[in-house]
Amino acid sequence: LQDITDRKKYEEKLEELALVASKTTDVIFMTDPDEQITWVNNAFEKFSGYPFNEVIGKSPGNILTGPDNNQNTMSRISNAFKKQEALQTIVLNYSKTGDKYWFDLTLDPIFDNEGNCEGFIGIQKDVTDQIEHQRELRKSVERYEIVSKATSDTIWDLDLESDTIKYN
């Protein structure tokens, strides 16, 4: 006879965790040690436009990248897989239809009790709105700097809250 009480509790916990992972709005994917996708959650399918059966066995880097990806970022991700190291970075992903999404990617290797890498888990939080806001802010600052350098007029800025004046 074998006591399966602990095993049953463990399996129940795994089922609960799988349910949470499948329902979260963050994108979650799992790969084997060779970067081949073994599982994705509903958010992955929603953002990427790829159903599970189209991505299983494929590398995330082969299906989510496009012409505007930063090669340094892509190399860092590839190296993290090769070296079996954790990584956190901002990455541009492409959907099946070519739409672009910016994600804050956390990639972690999964090791067994003997220290062998069994695969990776990737969690991606959508930061597209923040990235677009930062780009607009940079453009606005650049325009201001161009105008302030091009004019010989003094530009005054009155801060009503602190009652202070700044000028160029």
DSSP string, 8-24: HHHHHHHHHHHHHHHH-
Distance (Å, whole) CA 89 – CA 107: 9
Distance (Å, whole) CA 21 – CA 125: 13
Stated pTM of the model: 0.72
Phi, psi torsion values for 57, nearest 5 degrees: 85, 0
Determine the distance from the C-alpha atom of residue 124 to the mean position of all C-alpha atoms in its chain, rounded to a whole number: 3
CA 91, 95, 96, 99: dihedral to nearest 10 degrees?
-120
Closest CA to 135 of 105, 102, 157, 96: 102
Phi, psi torsion values for 74, nearest 5 degrees: -65, -35
Cα within 13 Å of Cα(51), Cβ side? 1
DSSP state of 84: T
pLDDT of residue 25: 84
pLDDT of residue 13: 67
pLDDT of residue 3: 58
pLDDT of residue 30: 93
Residue whose pair of structure tokens reads 């399966």 in the numeric block: 4
pLDDT in tens, the chain (168 residues): 555 556 666 666 667 766 666 677 899 999 999 999 999 999 999 999 999 999 999 999 999 999 999 999 999 999 999 999 999 999 999 999 999 999 999 999 999 999 999 999 999 999 989 988 888 888 888 887 877 777 777 777 778 888 888 876
